[in-house]
Amino acid sequence: MTNVGMVSLGCPKNLMDAELMLAKLQAAGFTITPDSSKADVVIINTCGFIQDAMQEAIDTILEFAAKKAAGEIRGIVVTGCLAQRYKEELCRELPECDAVLGLGANGDIVAAVQAALNGETMAKFPALSQWPLDGDRLQSTPPFYAYLRIADGCDNRCTYCAIPLIRGGLRSRKMETVLGEARELAARGVKEITLVAQDPTVYGMDLVGKSRLPELLTELCKIDGPQWIRLLYCYPEHITDELLEVIAREEKIVKYLDMPVQHASGAVLKAMNRKADKESLTALMHRIRKTVPGIVLRTTVLVGFPGETEEDFAELCEFVSDVKFERLGCFAFSPQEGTPAAELPNQLSEDVKQERRDAVMALQTTIADAYAEAQAGKVKTVLVEGFEEAIGLWYGRSAAEAAEIDPKIYFGTEQEVQPGDMVEVRILDRWDCDLVGERT
């Protein structure tokens, strides 16, 4: 019996590739182990989006290369965005890797693992058109929540982003295939489905010339079983009144919207090849909150973009202060090889970029603390995720928190409870941005 382990790095979209590959391996008779230390072959499904992610991928490869040299594992297979982006460099600089597969070769994962076991090398980088987005998947998240990829690739061409260079243009999955997969997840007992794509708001544009996201959401809500449907990574310029009306109307769609605005200065957004400015974004946020009362807004912003002036930065801070996003992450610009932004003049120093990032996060901390304090006394439906032995409390998330990225809700109870249960919790206090309460 051959054990195969996988370390999947990066975003949920990368995880979808991992789950498809794991299902192929299981069907071929391999045993999938969650403990990579017990694996004969380890697959490292890499991220290649920003420098920190690439370094994490390389460090992980080197970690398992040391295990291979010590005889603890037999083979290493590298897949994912780093393999797609730096194929020649990986094969040349890291000969410890037995197999390196581009995204188009994900369907060849069984042959790659077999080659590693046989002491052979394999490197395959076919066209992205061969990259499988459909098929059986081995769910790697807890049984009560799952991601559902509706599309991949991107046509937006933001000047700082390497995703189109790595994952290609927009590829939407057929609606009947997505709905079929959602029904399978429902049959397994999944209670929360999170839709992911590079930009879900343009789902279907490549197939029928218009967004089919509102239609897809409406059909998903008809499926018995899942109680929450969540949207991530929505491109703000593509959020329509039709989409907002569906979010407001359908009870299953959580009133939570993640949309990376990136900046508020019109000059910076134009240099990013984004279509918005502070006025249009502010108007959009007001329209969203008016159409969907009580909605939780999450965003990410990018500071230190080439040419960003003090005035541009001040405009961003004013926007963040005015809108008061419940959730916000801030990143310092990191030039990506092959992107237009990497070649722009007026690149800012690392010190300036970090100072601006710290300033935005300090501002957001004040906003997030005020939001957390305002939750005291409210009763929330919480999807239970686990028990924290160190403090003797259960924890989970409400509709206002997305898996893996947002704060937790801790609570005490004398009643029986299990991961995957949905319980009512009265909020009593906050621990930083986390909330604490008791089951009602």
Q: Which residues contact 300 (CB under 8 A, 6 or more apart)?
A: 260, 261, 262, 328, 329, 330, 331
Do 63 and 208 fall within a single domain? no
Give percent above pLDDT 70 in the chain.
100
Residue 139 lies in a domain: no
pLDDT band (50, 70, 90) for residue 37: confident
Looking at residue 431, which CATH number applies to its domain? 2.40.50.140
pLDDT at residue 169 greater than cutoff 80: yes
Looking at residue 305, which CATH number applies to its domain? 3.80.30.20
Output the pLDDT for position 92.
87
Structure-block tokens of residue 206: 């490549």
CB 328 within 8 A of CB 300: yes
Residue 42 lies in a domain: yes
The SS3 assignment for 424 reads: strand
Q: What is the DSSP letter of 174?
A: P
Residue 138 lies in a domain: no
Residue 189 lies in a domain: yes
Quick: pLDDT tens for 322-342: 999 999 999 999 999 999 999
Across all residues in the chain, what is the average pLDDT? 95
Output the pLDDT for position 133.
96
Looking at residue 99, which CATH number applies to its domain? 3.40.50.12160
Do 106 and 219 fall within a single domain? no
Closest to 153 in 3D by CA, of 206, 215, 107, 94? 206
In the chain, the number of structural domains is 3
pLDDT band (50, 70, 90) for residue 38: confident
CB 400 within 8 A of CB 296: yes
Output the pLDDT for position 26.
97
pLDDT at residue 89 greater than cutoff 90: no
Do 191 and 309 fall within a single domain? yes
pLDDT band (50, 70, 90) for residue 198: very high
Output the pLDDT for position 414.
94
Closest to 11 in 3D by CA, of 61, 57, 42? 57
> How would DSSP label each residue in 58-111?
HHHHHHHHHHHHTTS-SEEEEEEHHHHHSHHHHHHH-TT-SEEE-GGGGGGHHH
pLDDT at residue 380 greater than cutoff 90: yes
Strand pairing category for 379-388 and 393-397: antiparallel
Do 187 and 46 fall within a single domain? no
Q: How far is CA 175 from CA 149, 214, 220, 259, in A?
A: 11, 12, 10, 23
Do 270 and 367 fall within a single domain? yes
Calpha distance 13→152 (Å, rounded) = 8
CB 229 within 8 A of CB 251: no
Q: Which of these ranges, 46-50, 93-97, 241-245, 377-381, has the smallest mean pLDDT?
A: 46-50
pLDDT at residue 124 greater than cutoff 90: yes
Quick: pLDDT tens for 266-302: 999 999 999 999 999 999 999 999 999 999 999 999 9
Of the residues 373, 404, 420, the one at which a domain ends: 373
Do 418 and 280 fall within a single domain? no
Output the pLDDT for position 51.
78
Rounded to two decimals, the pTM is: 0.94
First to last CA, the chain: 48
CB 409 within 8 A of CB 424: no
Residue 137 lies in a domain: no
Q: What is the mean pLDDT of residues 128-132?
A: 92
pLDDT at residue 202 greater than cutoff 80: yes
Closest to 55 in 3D by CA, of 95, 99, 9, 124? 9
Do 125 and 250 fall within a single domain? no
Calpha distance 98→74 (Å, rounded) = 9
Across-strand partners of 171?
Answer: 152
Q: In the chain, how long is the greatest CA-to-CA distance? A: 63
pLDDT at residue 53 greater than cutoff 90: no
Question: What is the side-by-side strand order in the sheet with 99-101?
Answer: 31-32, 3-8, 41-46, 75-80, 99-101, 122-124
Do 305 and 353 fall within a single domain? yes
Do 360 and 390 fall within a single domain? no
Do 16 and 112 fall within a single domain? yes
Q: What is the mean pLDDT of residues 242-251?
A: 98
pLDDT at residue 399 greater than cutoff 90: yes
Residue 18 lies in a domain: yes
pLDDT band (50, 70, 90) for residue 1: confident
Output the pLDDT for position 87.
87
* Sign of the torsion formed by the C-alpha atoms of 247, 251, 255 and 260: negative
pLDDT at residue 90 greater than cutoff 90: no
Of the residues 68, 99, 130, the one at which a domain ends: 130
Do 216 and 347 fall within a single domain? yes
Residue 354 lies in a domain: yes
Q: 400: domain range?
A: 379-439
Output the pLDDT for position 423.
98
| Three-class HEC string of 138-166 | CCCCCCCEEEEECEECCCCCCCCCCHHHH
Residue 389 lies in a domain: yes
Do 386 and 254 fall within a single domain? no
Of the residues 322, 357, 373, the one at which a domain ends: 373
Structure-block tokens of residue 85: 């982006």
Q: How far is CA 39 from CA 21, 32, 61, 83, in A?
A: 16, 8, 15, 21
